Structure 1
Amino acid sequence: MAHNAKPNILILMGDQVTPAALRAYGNTVSKTPRIDALARDGVVFDSAYCASPLCAPSRYALMAGSLPSRIGAYDNAAELPAQTLTFAHYLREAGYRTALSGKMHFCGPDQLHGFERRLTTDIYPADFGWVPDWSNPQRRQSWYHNMSSVFDAGPCVRTNQLDFDDEVGYTVRQHLFDIAREQASGKDLRPFVMVASFTHPHDPYAIAHEYWDLYEGEEIDLPKVTLGFEESDPHSRRLREACEIDREPITREHVRRARRAYYGALSYLDAQFGVILDTLEATGLADNTIVIFTADHGDMLGERGLWYKMTFFEGAARVPLIVHAPGRFAPARVNASVSHVDLLPTLVEMATGERRNAWPDAIDGRSLVPYLHGQSAHDEAIGEYLGEGAVAPIVMIRRERYKYVYSPVDPEQLFDLWDDPVELLNLAGDPRHEQRCAEFRAEVARRWNLDDLHEAVLASQRRRSFHFRATRQGRIEHWDWQPRADANDRYIRSHLDLDSLEENARFPRVRP
């Protein structure tokens, strides 16, 4: 198909994928041949960041092109307001069919947010049950991460997450078949944007024997930096307490098994991607489809003694970002820092061929299309963390070689990631960087009113906690998405013409 036609767009998402665990980003252990192929023939962003290192806020920011504080995406029980415009709204208005399969962690009664079709329910609850409480930081919520994921890491026959992701892969494949059949019959010729969002390799670190066994005899790499509680910065100490990291000793074997299961889960994710990509090829859709691979955030995987996310250290805040469309964009690597919020304007430009300067909803992102054509663009990523383990807003500015992290309740942090990629040397106390830190502090003051944001977060937490308690009384109406499937219109039914049904279901079509 000619590349002047509107392209299809397929977004493949993993959950909690740190780039450091992928061969495309220099890892030598993981086995992900399909992701490797996407990277080999695609544009790889070497310094891409989530807007918040937590599932729901990161995904909301990605969908809306806005920083979490702009849309109230404070934590994993924050509602994404229905009036917030997402890339699904923009592309649907531009003539695209829009579909979501898998996890997006939408909280609230709107479970579509611009998607025309949602093929599965979500793996996470849609209610306000997971609201943190900054007013009582000593209270540990029952739903917080703990270290059972590490202590119990290993092979399995089945898990909740395998159930979910197998369904995601199946529904994506079937939807691609439906798209191909409907286009062949002339029923629906619209291009598509589809999000296939899996929950692996998110903890718990358990994976089927098939993928665990891929790493039998392999030397599993251990964390580059190991720090204890007293050596850690204040926010890391809070995370260690929230996740009970220091409650029991964690051995090297615990770490090795957890990382091995994580690699196995990456290989499982890669295999799911492979089935989808093979379906694109089989249906003839691949040549006109831009494939984007990313994840909501990373995983510390024991680096600095930390696990999971919720921090702006590289393991948690950086994300993989690969754009694969060899006929449109030459393979390349981009060193400049970019953000998930840049995806919305990028997708709109891909879909329409035009770069918008005015938006009906305020956005914080900037298009990455110049980078896809080998040109220069911005070099900046901004982050916010407002979830559990924090007691006040934490913000991050990543620009050129420096990363600056600031919170009103903690010492500031400045890292030179070119000279210190493992972030061991905090330059904020170095007199040679006093002016640079002052400039960053002034920028933080211009970008945010952190006192007002702090009060807004506290008020939202109180409001949503009360809402959840109240709506647990009496008859409960759940917001969890119920996938709609009418069995009366599936397969062979008496009210459907048999010849026509079989003809339309066969792909490729035998008769024109």
Structure 2
Amino acid sequence: MKILSLLKLTLVASVCGLSALSATKTEQPNILFIFADDLSYETIRAHGHLDIDTPNLDRLVAEGTTFTHAYNMGSWTGAVCMASRSMINTGQFVWRTPRKGQDFKPTVAAGETWSQLLKSVGYRTYMTGKWHLSMDAAKIFDVAVDIRPGMPMDVKEGYNRPVDEAAYETGWKPWETKYGGFWEGGTHWSEVIAQHAESFLTEAIDDDAPFFMYLAFNAPHDPRQAPKEYVDMYPLDRIELPENFLAKYPHQDEIGCGESLRDARLAPFPRSEYSIKVNRQEYFAIITHMDAQIGRILDALEKSGQRDNTYIFFTADHGLAVGRHGLIGKQNMYEHSLRPPFMVVGPGVEAGAQIDTPIYLQDVMPTSLELAGADLPEQVEFKSLLPLLDDETVEHYDAIYGAYKKNLQRAILKDGYKLVIYPTINILRLYNLKEDPQEMQDLANNPEYASKLQSLMADFKTLQAELDDPLDLENPGSPDFTMKPHRH
């Protein structure tokens, strides 16, 4: 049975005597949202891109539907995580979503954040982990514990490394607890998420209300720390250098990805094969460790007896480069950094299926609200995925938009092509994503693609106006290199 048909049956039950607020778990499904940080779409083994171990995320791929092309819309700040999380909790597009504390006040006062909207139709709401927003999670969730900042505390020893094998032997190690970070408090933060999720699920068994759980891992954000046994799973001879590896990205400084960017300084300049392999080793290790904790959460859900009436959504706030194109962070318009994984599991969702239609990861918010029977406020601009889950041929977005900072980078994706714009240096890059998924062949100066470039630029200008993009393409101004604090 399709999801929308299930919802119609729920509506009939409601009309026959149950209001939304009094509906039982049978009528309203539980919503389990698992959110990773800095996780590229390629990092799930079942997707077939990388040699990485993710058996529990693979379970979600097998049991549900994968959206292969989920995107983050971008960010006004180097802390891309913050913009992504503001959008997902308010439903507003990047240039209209709140940024600072006072900006969130009208939305909170109106009860129109994601958790508040679900609470208004009878859900008990739980939250733990990374928040990274200037509003108090404890005031908009029924239960909120171990609310984490944008990233664990870092140390200088964790940067510009490893220069070489000798430096690695005497330097920072991801399993050494003396450096704090994910080890602060005595238990790895990813394990704390699993512990709280298990407690939430146990509590929810005795509650008549359906639940909404927002489980937000800081992993695999740096500092990429994991127990040694997980690092040992990835000897360097297992780590392949990315096909699109570069020692230096040609425009790194002009687009805000040079040495002034914190994330970029994690590995030495220029990038070496050895340093990138080590950084990817540590990235894979913390992902596999996170995957083990997700396994604990899935097992606890099964044990609770509520698995059959629960929709599970898994995604991340964006992707990450980790050596691709000579970049380390997520502050760029390439697929590895714009695209996180996105899986849905639940009643009526086809198992082992995939949908290639481009979406925004923030579409999870209106999707869950539709499942819950909640009305969407006018401010919610992202779209429910239920029509796509019922029929892959349904149109969704005409084009996908990407942005970084006020004037440093822009992108538009449409009909299998991507146009990347660097406004302050008047550089364009054009990629045919179907034929060149690694984005290694820039077609912008190829006369055969002149009409495609012009068409995409015209579409971008239209989209830019619709989204209130502050960039003036004709007069972009001085590069916006301002760096905002990463922790909140």
What is the TM-score with the length of structure 2 in the denominator? Answer: 0.78
1:26 counterpart residue number? 48
Matches of residues 81-120 of structure 1 in structure 2 within 5 Å?
81-84=104-107, 85-107=112-134, 109-112=135-138, 114-120=140-146
Instruction: Work out whether 1:316 is the aligned partner of 2:337.
Output: yes
In structure 2, how many angstroms separate the alpha carbons of the residues matched to 1:43 and 1:223?
27
Q: Of the candidates 408, 411, 414, which is equivalent to residue 423 of structure 2?
A: 408
SS across alignment from 1:100: strand
CA distance in 1, matches of 2:243, 2:372: 42
Contact 1:87/1:347 (8 A) holds in 2: no
- CA distance 1:153–1:430, change in 2 (3 Å): farther
Which is further off, 170-179 or 152-161? 152-161
Task: Count the aligned residue pairs.
Answer: 430
Per-residue Cα deviation, 1:462-502 (whole angstroms, up to 9, x for no partner)? 9998xx9xxxxxxxxxx97xxxxxxxxxxxxxxxxxxxxxx
User: Aligned equivalents of 1:425 and 1:249: distance in 2?
Assistant: 22
1:221 corresponds to which letter in structure 2?
Answer: E
- Residue 221 of structure 2 aligns to a residue whose secondary structure is coil
Q: How far did 1:317 drift?
A: 0.6
Q: What is the Cα deviation at residue 28 of structure 1?
A: 4.2
Worse-superposed segment, 78-87 or 363-372 = 78-87
Provide the residue aligned with 2:232 in structure 1. Answer: 213
RMSD of equivalent CA atoms:
3.5
Aligned equivalent of 1:448, options 448, 459, 464: 464
**2:215: which partner in 1?**
196
Deviation at 1:419, TM superposition (A): 0.7
Match of 1:136 in 2: none
Checking the alignment, whether the CA contact within 8 Å between 2:162 and 2:278 is kept in structure 1 is no
Q: Which residue in the other structure is 1:251 paired with? A: 272
Distance 2:91 2:310 in 1: 22
Q: Displacement, 1:41?
A: 1.4
Q: Which has the larger radius of gyration?
A: 1
Q: Which of 45, 49, 68 matches 2:71?
A: 49
Contact 2:95 2:468 in 1 (8 A): no
Question: Which residue is 1:130 aligned to?
Answer: none
CA deviation after TM superposition for structure 1 residue 228, in Å: 3.8
Measure how far apart 1:429 and its partner are: 2.3
Q: CA deviation at 1:284?
A: 0.7
Alpha-carbon distance, 1:63 to partner: 2.0
Structure 1 match to 2:315: 294
Describe the SS at the equivalent of 1:396.
strand
Q: List structure 1 runs of 4+ shifted beyond 3 angstroms.
A: 77-80, 109-114, 145-155, 233-238, 244-251, 326-331, 379-387, 449-452, 461-465
CA contact (8 A) 2:159 2:267 kept: no
CA–CA distance in 1 between the matches of 2:363 and 2:469?
A: 26
Alignment match, 2:190 = 165
Q: 1:395-443 CA distances to partner (integer Å, 9 max, x unpaired)?
A: 3222231122234324122211001111122222233332332232223
SS at 1:88 equivalent: helix
> Residues 298 and 464 (structure 1 numbering): CA distance in 2 closer, same or farther, change over 3 Å?
closer
Q: Which residue of 2 aligns with 1:68?
A: 94
> How far off its partner does 1:351 sit?
1.4
Task: Provide closer, same or farther for how the CA distance between residues 432 and 303 of structure 1 changes in structure 2, counting only shifts above 3 A.
Answer: same
Residue aligning to 1:270: 291
Residue in structure 2 matched with residue 385 of structure 1 by the alignment: 403
What residue in structure 1 maps to residue 175 of structure 2? 156
Separation in 2, partners of 1:206, 1:351: 37
Give distance in 2, aligned partners of 1:51 and 1:341: 9
Question: Is the 2:115–2:141 contact (alpha carbons within 8 Å) kept by the matching residues of 1?
Answer: yes
What's the TM-score, normalizing by structure 1? 0.75
**Structure 2: segments with no counterpart, 5+ residues:** 11-26
What SS is found at the alignment partner of 1:68?
A: coil
Cα offset for 1:149? 7.9
Contact 1:414–1:428 at 8 Å: present in 2 too? yes
Structure 1 pair 117–462 and aligned structure 2 pair: CA distance change class (3 A): farther
Show structure 1 runs of 5+ residues with no match. Answer: 127-141, 184-188, 469-478, 481-512
Aligned ranges 1:309-388 → 2 under 5 Å: 309-325=330-346, 327-352=348-373, 359-377=376-394, 378-380=396-398, 382-387=400-405
Q: Deviations over 1:323-345 (max 9, x none)?
A: 01265444310111111232222
Letter paired with 1:385: A
1:423 aligns with 2:439: yes
**Cα distance in 1, alignment partners of residues 380 and 119 from structure 2:** 18
Instruction: Please tell me the residue identity of whatever aligns with 1:83.
Output: P
